A = this chain, B = another copy of it.
C-alpha cells in the first residue's frame, strides 16, 4: 500500500537539517540574533547551536556583528547575520525585447543588475544565448570584485522547460528544443519558466503568503503556483498554463486550437487591439488620461481575469493572487473588475475575499526570482555548500 519510499536518514542528515534550521532562523530574524536566541527559537540546545554556527561562520554563510546594545545585566550577545560577502545567486532572464542578469546576496539584497534591450527574436538561439552568457559573466565579475562568490545561476525563459533544463518551446522567442547547456562555463545554470521564477521572487519578500498564484501577463499569460511555500510544477513541469483556461466555450478562436481561452480576452494582443494602442505604456497612459477605449478594454480584460481567478480560487483555495508582468503596472485599472467578477464567482468570497496585489519586483520579478532560487537552495541545504568548499 502506497507511500513514496524515500531514502534512509543517517546522523549526517540530522546535522544537515539542523544547519538549515539555524541558518533559516537567522535569515528570518530582522535584527542580528544571538546564538542563545537561536537556541530558544529552534528548540536546540545552546551547545548544539554554537557548534552549528561555527560551521556556518567558517563556511561564510553567517558573520558575527557587534553585540546589539541591550538593557539589563549579563554578558552581551554576539549578533549573527547572513554573510554579506558569502555566496550569492546569479539570476538571468531572456525575453522578447531584452536580456538581463542580476546578482542577489544571501540576505536577498540586489547587488548588481544589468539589462540590455534588443529584439531577441532576430537572432538565433545560439547567438542570443552567447550574448546573454557575456552579460551574465559581466554581472558575475562585478559581484566577485565585491568579494561575493556566485554559487549558482538560474535562467528565466518565456516558455515550457523540461525537467532537465531544455527549452521545449518558447513561442514568442521562436525557440524549440533549445538546450541551454554551459552558459557560464563552470557554473551550472538551472532553466525554468519565467512565471515560475517570478512567483518564487515573492517568496523572497518579507512574510510572504504560504499559498498563492502568480499570474504573469506578457504576450501569453502564465502562472506560477506556490503551495505550502513551494513551487508546484506539475507532473511534467507544465503547470500554470492559465492563459488557456476556458472563459467562454463559444468565444473567439485561440492559436492553441480551442475557443474562448483567457488569452483571447486578457492577453496583451487582445487588450491592445481593443484599446486601439500599440504598447503597454501607451495603454497605461491612455487609461490614466481617461481614454474610454482603453478603460473599457481594461475592464473587459479584468472581467475575464476575474473569471479565471475564480476558477483558480475555487479549485485551490488560495487567498492571494499576485499580478505580474504587464498586469503589475495596469493593476490600478484591472483591480476593480477582477475583484468584482471574482467576488461574484468565488464560493467563499463572502467570508474571505480574494487578496489581489501587484508583483513586488515588478518587471524584474523573473530575474530576481531566478537569483532567489539559488539563494533559497543555499538556505535550504547549507550542508551541500559547506561540503563544496571543502
Q: Which residues on A are within 8 Å of B, measured CB to CB?
A: 1-11, 13-14, 17-18, 21, 24-25, 27-28, 41-44, 82, 107-108, 203-204, 208-211, 223, 225, 227-229, 232-242, 244-250, 256-258, 261, 303, 307, 310-312, 314-319, 344-348, 352, 375-376, 379-380
Contacts and interface: CB of A to CB of B under 8 A. Distances in A.
A241 B347 contact: yes
Contacts of A344: 257-258
A164 B273 CA distance: 50
Contact of A315 (B242, B250, B310): B242
Contact of A379 (B3, B13, B24, B208): B3
Contacts of A208: 2
Contact of A42 (B8, B223, B232, B348): B8
B2 A204 contact: yes
- Highest count of chain B CB atoms <10 Å: which of A82, A240, A315, A379: A315
A11 B14 contact: yes
Given A235-B319, A242-B315, A25 B5 contact: yes
B239 A316 contact: yes
Contacts of A228: 232
A77 B239 CA distance: 46
B42 A5 contact: yes
Contacts of A43: 7-8
B248 A317 contact: no
Given A10-B14, A247-B249, A249-B247, A238 B348 contact: yes
A222 B21 CA distance: 38
Where chain A touches its partner, the secondary structure class is: loop
Nearest to A6: B21
A10 B210 CA distance: 26
A41 B242 CA distance: 40
Contacts of A256: 347
A169 to B, nearest CB: 10
Interface centre among A257, A319, A347 (most CB of B within 10 A): A347
Contact of A14 (B6, B14, B238): B14
A202 to B, nearest CB: 9
13 contacts: A3-B24, A10-B14, A13-B14, A14-B14, A209-B235, A232-B316, A233-B317, A235-B317, A236-B317, A242-B315, A245-B311, A245-B314, A258-B345
B345 A246 contact: yes
A230 to B, nearest CB: 9
A229 B3 CA distance: 7
B315 A225 contact: yes
A18 B25 contact: no
B107 A1 contact: yes
Best-surrounded residue of A10, A242, A258, A379 (most CB of chain B within 10 A): A258
A55 B28 CA distance: 39
Contact of A241 (B13, B232, B315): B315
Nearest to A242: B315
A340 to B, nearest CB: 12
Contacts of A10: 14
A232 B239 contact: no
A5 B41 contact: yes
A4 B24 CA distance: 8
Contacts of A5: 21, 24-25, 28, 41-42
Contacts of A303: 249
A18 B11 CA distance: 12
